[in-house]
A = this chain, B = another copy of it.
């Protein structure tokens, strides 16, 4: 069942069928109807390959991400995927997780195959050659959650987020505020550890509070990592121990809450804890956090691409407003005990 059969059944030319089905070019309402009816009757669906070869458009976008095991990534992916599907686009997943060979292959081969109209890069700190090869594609490219040189990127203001979280704690009366940040390895990929630390420092400085290296412990954005880091922090002598902790992600904050409990400390009475993300489970844990909206970020990335891929006259281009984030106060934070 090729386009020719549909054309025959509908009594029009293949060109008209193509136009009617793709929505490009003008077709009379009558013709369109006959074509659509014929197509349905025959169960006709365009061959992507033929269409792509002829038009240069694939109706497929690539999403590249470092791995799938963090909530943030899958949330972005899910948001982007749903939006793309609604526009009739497929998504090809390029997961960089693995030994590293994957990463080279993706950039050198997979993305070059002209199988995508655009790419979304999630939380990737790309190397120089990687950026080059992406640009060489000549395809629209947008980053989410991580800065890519020379590329439009959607990301919350990580410094401001961290500042807000810290100020929340300061506002409650805390002055010994610890930080569970990201370790160097994570920094290579996301860059946000540094920024979130800066935000914490800024808030502390602003409030005239000391920035003690002993109140900083870094981890890898996992629950386990957060647990270990928190134990470290909370093991300090009482006079010196943090009464509050800002964790750079909710997953690490969960770990910190568990660590506190295991030490017999009450959250929030003995130690207040704030995270970042508003993870699926944060409400369950009663975790105070700074919500960002990864699903919406993914969807927005798609909107931006779509505006370039399928320009519509009256479509206002997605505005360039900073991405929203929002303090959500729950039961993991309170005034310090004293």
Contact = CB atoms under 8 A, between A and B. Distances in A.
Interface in A48-76: 48-50, 52-53, 58, 60, 67-69, 74
Contacts of A227: 284
Contacts of A224: 281, 284
Interface residues of A, number: 43
Contact of A90 (B74, B92, B112): B92
Nearest to A255: B284
Interface in A196-239: 223-224, 227
Contact of A110 (B74, B85, B280): B85
Contact of A78 (B49, B82, B97, B223): B97
B82 A48 contact: no
A246 to B, nearest CB: 22
B93 A280 contact: no
A69 B273 CA distance: 25
State the oligomeric state as a number of copies.
Answer: 2
Nearest to A56: B49
A45 interface: yes
Contact of A92 (B67, B78, B93, B284): B93
B50 A78 contact: no
Interface of A: 45-50, 52-53, 58, 60, 67-69, 74, 77-78, 81-82, 85, 88, 90-93, 95, 97-98, 102, 105-106, 109-110, 112-115, 223-224, 227, 261, 280-281, 284
18 contacts: A45-B109, A47-B53, A47-B113, A48-B52, A49-B58, A49-B114, A49-B115, A60-B115, A67-B78, A68-B77, A68-B78, A69-B280, A78-B97, A81-B93, A85-B102, A85-B110, A90-B92, A224-B284
